[in-house]
Amino acid sequence: MKIWCDRANNQRVAWHCRSHPETAESNAYAEVFQLQRSFIGTSPVHVPTVADIQVVTRRPADERPAVILLELPNRHLGCQTYPYDDLVQISRLCRAANIRLHLDGARLWEIQPFYNRPFADLARLFDSVYVSLYKGLRGTVGCVLASSDAAFMAEAALWQRRLGGWMVTSYPVLIDCERAFNLNIGTFERKWRKMCAVAAAIVQATKDFTTSDGRPIVYFTPEVPTCCQVHTHIRGVTRERLAAARDEVERDLGLSVFPWTLPSPFMHELDPDWVLVNGDPLAVQGMDQYFEWSITDKNVDIPDAVFAQGWRAIVTVLFA
Amino acid sequence: MKIWCDRANNQRVAWHCRSHPETAESNAYAEVFQLQRSFIGTSPVHVPTVADIQVVTRRPADERPAVILLELPNRHLGCQTYPYDDLVQISRLCRAANIRLHLDGARLWEIQPFYNRPFADLARLFDSVYVSLYKGLRGTVGCVLASSDAAFMAEAALWQRRLGGWMVTSYPVLIDCERAFNLNIGTFERKWRKMCAVAAAIVQATKDFTTSDGRPIVYFTPEVPTCCQVHTHIRGVTRERLAAARDEVERDLGLSVFPWTLPSPFMHELDPDWVLVNGDPLAVQGMDQYFEWSITDKNVDIPDAVFAQGWRAIVTVLFA
């Protein structure tokens, strides 16, 4: 982002309020690079639309960001992602408006089966691409920044050094990441299909449990998983009660369903200058829990019925 | 440095012109942190003296740096270091002038035997201490920042995150560094004594080879090593001729004396605003070579006479 901004002599950047620079980097964009951030999108719980991007690209040239970051998929929104045709349109809008488009593709490996296209078809819509080598690939730690702009890459290497990194010292994790890449690449279609089947089985197994106004106690965002990672929500229960039910199921059935949950869906954590739409008082009171989880090589072979059995047991303990 | 500067609301920092932030960080202090650097010391080839520090501490309060960095020992000066009593005086001067003192102790493990005192005696003279876990310790990569100021350490952790690092992801190198620490700590006194013996043997073996004005062809900086790392210089020879002589000795005797050399002593690389003292035209023309090397667990058991034999063979090829 810094490099694109410097090239444009424009320190404005834009992303969705639930993107990685907002949630995991302690305001590095401002504290380290003095970038000025604005949010794109009209909902804190949905990824930006083409129309949302158009609002930005139609600003006067001296008010536009130098670069827009898209997180593909968006982790904090349960791996919601963009339809491919929307991406094509967003890319076209940005190029026409002279805005660089940066891909936070930390989970690009995981989301590629959703698009059923080569990685290159996705990458070429962006000016620069970040991909993670751990997460789904299960390397130790590490990532790759890619661009077809050689001068950009040379400048990125200079900034890597300035920020305390150095390729020469990365060899232990690179070796491990190559191993992990070779083990896991090509496995994400199967893991996604498995996640879809497991989610459907859990919804089916818990469908008799609803709130007083008829909403399901257990639900997924997105409703149909986009990849092997998803959010599972449990309505109307505190973290403590849910943890107690989980422990009881683990004791009785030997099934460990999840490690811990968070209040959902972050409404109270959102930046104050964000327009809260669909505000849910239950969420603010911590009465709606969720957890983030994935199908990995560790759980992909567990039968769908086992997942369903565990969840049914938990909601039975809580609500029967 | 950044944290101390922010606390003092003063972005001025100071160090010697051959310190690490000047030679290995691509101007990160200015490009990332907008710090304003000045140099301390009156010679590009000697570490600052107490008098040099006093020049800084006697400046008006609004012209003083917030923090001074000392490199102990100074790698680029052949691991020259400061007498302990000078360090005590420097520390006292800085505290009286309200200037923080930061230790770049990348080679603190190596230099400690020179002082024949516990590490704590050295560390307590400084407000913050950096030590490396590779280099002499031979870990994979990594370092530790230490201070008895807990708020400082918490802020350092925040900046570590902002700059892309994270303790959680450092576990592979930390495990390896602990192994390396346990293997190498306590070995540096022996390696230093060995370096002193080897240097003396090399000087003795090559003492008949001098320049036309009587200066030795082969010499060391410092003349007596301060630790297991030192610079060896060779006068009046180009890099190419020296490499050819080295290869000839390797072929004939099976002794690999050094891998490559650099023009010495960096006069032409110094910052333009540095006052060049003792400028040596030979150095600028690249007719004086040097290389940096260490006694490690790989070469500590090679007899002194073998080092001496190799060097004598090289200068014989070149100057006999």
pLDDT in tens, B111-165: 999 999 999 999 999 999 999 999 999 888 889 999 999 999 999 999 999 999 8
Q: Which of residues 121-150 of B touch A (CB under 8 A)?
A: 134, 140-141
Q: Domains along chain B?
A: 2-184 (3.40.640.10), 188-319 (3.90.1150.10)
Three-state SS for B67? strand
pLDDT surpassing 90 at residue A285: no
pLDDT band at B306 (very low <50, low <70, confident <90, very high): very high
Nearest CA of chain B to the CA of A115: how many Å?
Answer: 30
Q: Does B26 touch chain A (CB under 8 A)?
A: yes
Q: Give the span between the Cα atoms of A189 and A75, in whole angstroms.
A: 18
Q: What is the pLDDT of residues B53-88, one digit of tens each?
A: 999 999 999 999 999 999 999 998 999 999 999 999
Instruction: Judge whether B206 and B178 are in contact, CB under 8 Å.
Output: no
**pLDDT (average), residues B171-189:** 93
Give the whole-number percent of chain B exceeding pLDDT 70.
93
Mark yes or no for CB contact B26/A173 under 8 Å.
no
A-chain residues near B158 (CB < 8 A): 26
Q: Give the span between the Cα atoms of A255 and B109, in whole angstroms.
A: 50
Q: Does B303 touch chain A (CB under 8 A)?
A: no
Q: Does A31 touch chain B (CB under 8 A)?
A: yes
Q: Which of A42-46, A159-163, B208-212 has the lowest mean pLDDT?
A: A42-46
Q: Does B254 touch chain A (CB under 8 A)?
A: no
Instruction: Judge whether A68 and A56 are in contact, CB under 8 Å.
Output: yes
pLDDT surpassing 90 at residue A90: yes
pLDDT surpassing 60 at residue B280: no
Q: Provide the β-strand partners of residue B157.
A: none
pLDDT band at B225 (very low <50, low <70, confident <90, very high): very high
What are the DSSP calls for B84-138, one per residue? Answer: HHHHHHHHHHHHHTT-EEEEEETTHHHHHHHHTS-HHHHHTTSSEEEEESSGGG-
Q: Does A163 touch chain B (CB under 8 A)?
A: yes
Q: The sheet that has A100-105: what strands, in order across it?
A: A36-39, A12-15, A67-71, A100-105, A128-132, A143-146
A-chain residues near B170 (CB < 8 A): 141
Q: Does A173 touch chain B (CB under 8 A)?
A: yes
Q: Does A277 touch chain B (CB under 8 A)?
A: no
B-chain residues near A134 (CB < 8 A): 169
Q: Does A6 touch chain B (CB under 8 A)?
A: no
Q: Which of A140, A81, A83 is nearest to A111 (CA)?
A: A81
Nearest CA of chain B to the CA of A111: how many Å?
Answer: 24
Q: What is the pLDDT of residue B268?
A: 45
Mark yes or no for CB contact A176/B176 under 8 Å.
no
pLDDT surpassing 60 at residue B33: yes
Q: What is the pLDDT of residue B144?
A: 94
Mark yes or no for CB contact B28/A158 under 8 Å.
no
Cα dihedral A285, A291, A292, A295, rounded to 10, equals -160
Q: What is the pLDDT of residues A21-61, one digit of tens each?
A: 988 899 999 999 999 999 999 887 889 999 999 999 999 99
Q: Which of A59, A71, A48, A146 is nearest to A99 (CA)?
A: A59
Nearest CA of chain A to the CA of B152: how many Å?
Answer: 16
User: Which among B28, B140, B173 has the least Cβ separation from residue A162?
Assistant: B28
Those residues whose C-beta lies under 8 Å from the C-beta of residue B219, and which sit 6 or more positions away, are B203, B232, B233, B235
Q: Give the span between the Cα atoms of B232 and A206, in whole angstroms.
A: 76
Pairs of CB atoms within 8 A across A/B: 49
Q: What is the pLDDT of residue B22?
A: 87
Q: Does B167 touch chain A (CB under 8 A)?
A: no
User: Which among B25, B165, B172 has the least Cβ separation from residue A162?
Assistant: B25
Q: Does B31 touch chain A (CB under 8 A)?
A: yes
Mark yes or no for CB contact A140/B172 under 8 Å.
yes
Q: Which of residues 76-95 of B touch A (CB under 8 A)?
A: none
Nearest CA of chain A to the CA of B142: how many Å?
Answer: 9
Between B71 and B274, the more confident residue is B71
Phi, psi of A304 (to 5 degrees): -55, -40
Mark yes or no for CB contact A165/B164 under 8 Å.
yes
Mark yes or no for CB contact B164/A162 under 8 Å.
no
A-chain residues near B32 (CB < 8 A): 32, 162-163
Q: Which residue of A has its CA nearest to B33?
A: A32
A-chain residues near B104 (CB < 8 A): none
Nearest CA of chain B to the CA of A293: how many Å?
Answer: 19
Q: Does B173 touch chain A (CB under 8 A)?
A: yes
Q: Which of A168-172, A261-265, A284-288 has the lowest mean pLDDT?
A: A284-288
Mark yes or no for CB contact A173/B176 under 8 Å.
no
Mark yes or no for CB contact A161/B26 under 8 Å.
yes
The greatest distance separating any two alpha carbons of chain B, rounded to the nearest whole angstrom, comes to: 63
Q: What is the pLDDT of residue B44?
A: 80
Q: What is the pLDDT of residue A286?
A: 58
Q: Which of A112, A115, A76, A79 is nearest to A225 (CA)?
A: A79
Q: Does A154 touch chain B (CB under 8 A)?
A: no
Rounded to the nearest 10 degrees, what angle do helices B171-184 and A171-184 cross at? 140
Q: What is the pLDDT of residue B141?
A: 87
Mark yes or no for CB contact A32/B162 under 8 Å.
yes
Residue B219: half-sphere exposure toward Cβ, Cα within 13 Å: 14
Mark yes or no for CB contact A169/B26 under 8 Å.
no
User: Which among A26, A134, A158 has the least Cβ separation from residue B161?
Assistant: A26
pLDDT surpassing 60 at residue B276: no
Q: How do B229-235 and B218-221 pair as beta strands?
A: antiparallel
pLDDT surpassing 60 at residue A277: no
Q: What is the pLDDT of residue B229?
A: 98
Instruction: Judge whether A79 and A222 are in contact, CB under 8 Å.
Output: yes
Q: Which residue of B has its CA nearest to A22?
A: B162
A-chain residues near B134 (CB < 8 A): 169
Q: Which of B61, B14, B56 is nearest to B39 (CA)?
A: B14
Q: What is the mean pLDDT of chain B?
A: 91
Nearest CA of chain B to the CA of A226: how many Å?
Answer: 27
Mark yes or no for CB contact B163/A161 under 8 Å.
no
**pLDDT (average), residues A76-91:** 97
Q: Give the span between the Cα atoms of B172 and A66, in whole angstroms.
A: 37
CB atoms within 10 A of CB B51: 11
Question: Ranked by mean pLDDT, which of A13-22, A231-240, A269-278, B84-93 comes out on top?
Answer: B84-93
